[in-house]
Structure 1
Amino acid sequence: MRKILIPTDFSENALNAIHYALELFKYEISVFYFMHAYQDDIYINEALLTRETLSRATKIVSDQSKKQLEDLIKDIRKQHPNPRFTYRMVSSNNVLVDEADKIVENENIDIIVMGTKGKSNHKKLTFGSHTLQVLKYVECPVLAIPSNYKYIQPKHAVFPTNYLIPYKRRELKLVCEMLAPFRTKIDVIYVSKSKKLSMRQEDNKSFIEETLCKNETNFITVNRKRITEAINSYISDNGVDMLIMVNTRHSHLENILFQSPIDEISLNIGIPFLALQNIERRH
């Protein structure tokens, strides 16, 4: 059974990500956890709050959160009737990243699906602040859906890697099972001036090949210096509709997320983006 966590702020971007997830996992028996963490909404006008009004504001925001989640699930049941799906709602007086982390741990979540941005929808940013926090700090694969990206079956995914890290079977298995029903072609690209791999790289490459066995997988070396330029060019030149990267120490994605100021991230993502977190969790 697939366990999917979907944080929502009830924005158009969040709703768009929900519809994408419901289509992507329609062939799997799945439990969807729709989560609204509303602590920020309570303190939005902190200067006006007193102890007395804080209690009242908390009750109002809490009731509204539960009602919006109930309405959301009611609408989803109408629009996406699927006997394979079970829905659970989580309304929490917490900040999003902490609540997501808690649910991932307690429920052994397989994947988080969310919009690349929420209500703010800042045009210059690749990721909104909440999505960036989840990508950086929550130990779970994250599938981020860009604003206004309309669902199409993923037919061509690209997976840039340097083959330097040992992959986690659970996460590659997730990729395989998620994309196998759509017969998605996966291009694993190695950005380097040299085609020669070390013994460790060869072993990690073989592990990918074995674990993604249900999918057509191509291994390609791209002769470029700049990683992000190579990825962006490959996506635009090859009609790619999903980008997969691993977020761990010494990976391409770590360099992009952690070493760039938030507003200067140079990876220009206009397609669904799956970040594998490559961490040890229960199997």
Structure 2
Amino acid sequence: MKPIVVPVNFSENSANAARYAADLALSIGAEIQLLYIFQIPMSMSEVPMPERAFEDLQGSGREMLDNLSHELFRRSRGKLTIHSDMEIGTVEGQIEKYCKEKEPLLVVMGATGGGLENVLTGSNSVRAVRHLPYPVLVVPEGVRFQSMRYVVVACDQEDLSAGLPVATPVLQLMGNMPGIRLEVVHVLREDESASEFTMAYNHWKSELTGLQPALRIVRAENITEGMSEFLEGCGADLLVVFPKKHNVLEFHRSQAKRLVMHCAVPVMSIHE
């Protein structure tokens, strides 16, 4: 199985995301690849850094990476396979290069604030990977992994026509977990037909193997209000979105911020 890549920076939020990733990996039988990107301080980039100072910084990074790796190994009671790597360069460039080499099942990162806000509007770290051709799971601050019981897939008719998420391995794995509930949610606007979306959904569902998601159509005057009301008390363990042109969640930044006030669950962003 392909690994789960977890970029870390040793903040508490980053460590929390690593713990979440470790618990998730253990539940689906995946391995963990911890990645620390050592960035040369800007104040030192214009002049050569003393070799001893450079080695000390590298050593400190490696020590923290090893400590985190050992913590996750103990957390899994020795059942989880964990690898760790340290790269030198920019966050964006090195994550992209590393993922091309590892071809991960999933990239897991921590982000302060609502997970969906960071997928749509972006913190620095999430913005660096938001266009990677791999699923990116953003873990909101303080959220801990619980066994996946309810996964919400927010999509539109265009997503279904494109076959998403039929060919998404990580969703296939989650869909096969015991007791999981997978639900496709669509906000029906005034200019859309419920029967047309239902037909597209039934055709898409007939091509699935193993997965048997339910359908929930939410009627609302606009997408923001509809998703906000649905997410506020639905109790989902994971929200899956497909950021792309004309996607149901691809709207103005101010609207996105209103939506994520009620979204405190991890958000998985899957690109075409």
Q: TM-score range by the shorter chain?
A: 0.7 to 0.9
Q: Matched residues in 1 for 2:31 and 2:89: separation?
A: 22
Secondary structure at the residue paired with 1:266?
helix
Question: Is the CA contact (8 Å cut-off) linking 1:156 and 1:185 kept in structure 2?
Answer: yes
The answer to whether the aligner puts 1:184 opposite 2:180 as a matched pair is yes
Q: 1:40-119 counterparts in 2 under 5 A? A: 42-44=40-42, 46=43, 51-53=47-49, 55-83=51-79, 85-117=80-112
Amino acid corresponding to residue 95 of structure 1 in structure 2 = T
- TM-score, normalised on structure 2? 0.83
Q: 1:134-145 counterparts in 2 under 5 A? A: 134-135=129-130, 137-145=131-139
Deviation at residue 249 of structure 1 after TM alignment: 2.6
Provide the residue aligned with 1:210 in structure 2.
Answer: 207
Q: Matched residues in 2 for 1:156 and 1:25: separation?
A: 17
List gaps (5 residues or longer) in structure 1: 279-283
Question: Is the CA contact (8 Å cut-off) linking 1:167 and 1:208 kept in structure 2?
Answer: no
Q: Matched residues in 2 for 1:80 and 1:62: separation?
A: 27
Q: 1:214-253 counterparts in 2 under 5 A? A: 214-253=210-249
Q: Matched residues in 2 for 1:6 and 1:72: separation?
A: 11
Deviation at residue 82 of structure 1 after TM alignment: 4.2
Amino acid corresponding to residue 148 of structure 1 in structure 2 = G
Question: Is the CA contact (8 Å cut-off) linking 1:13 and 1:148 kept in structure 2?
Answer: yes
Question: Is the CA contact (8 Å cut-off) linking 1:180 and 1:214 kept in structure 2?
Answer: yes
Secondary structure at the residue paired with 2:148?
coil
| Identity percentage of aligned residues | 17
Secondary structure at the residue paired with 2:18?
helix
What value does the CA root-mean-square deviation take over the aligned residues?
Answer: 2.7
Deviation at residue 8 of structure 1 after TM alignment: 0.4
The number of residue pairs the alignment matches comes to 260
Question: 1:98–1:167: structure 2 CA closer, same or farther, 3 Å change rule?
Answer: farther
Deviation at residue 196 of structure 1 after TM alignment: 2.9
Deviation at residue 172 of structure 1 after TM alignment: 3.0
The answer to whether the aligner puts 1:21 opposite 2:21 as a matched pair is yes
Q: 1:146-165 counterparts in 2 under 5 A? A: 146-165=140-159
Amino acid corresponding to residue 229 of structure 1 in structure 2 = E
Deviation at residue 264 of structure 1 after TM alignment: 6.4
Amino acid corresponding to residue 67 of structure 1 in structure 2 = E
Question: 1:103–1:168: structure 2 CA closer, same or farther, 3 Å change rule?
Answer: farther
The answer to whether the aligner puts 1:260 opposite 2:253 as a matched pair is yes
Q: Matched residues in 2 for 1:132 and 1:49: separation?
A: 23
For residues 11-50 of structure 1, give each alpha carbon's deviation from its aligned partner in whole angstroms, at most 9, with x where no partner exists.
11111111112222214332211001121xx225x1x666
Q: Matched residues in 2 for 1:162 and 1:37: separation?
A: 36
List gaps (5 residues or longer) in structure 2: none
For residues 69-99 of structure 1, give each alpha carbon's deviation from its aligned partner in whole angstroms, at most 9, with x where no partner exists.
111111221121243x322212111222221
Question: Is the CA contact (8 Å cut-off) linking 1:183 and 1:215 kept in structure 2?
Answer: no
Amino acid corresponding to residue 210 of structure 1 in structure 2 = E
Deviation at residue 9 of structure 1 after TM alignment: 0.6
Provide the residue aligned with 1:281 in structure 2.
Answer: none
Deviation at residue 112 of structure 1 after TM alignment: 0.3
Deviation at residue 216 of structure 1 after TM alignment: 4.5
Amino acid corresponding to residue 41 of structure 2 in structure 1 = Y
Question: Is the CA contact (8 Å cut-off) linking 1:25 and 1:178 kept in structure 2?
Answer: no
- TM-score, normalised on structure 1? 0.80
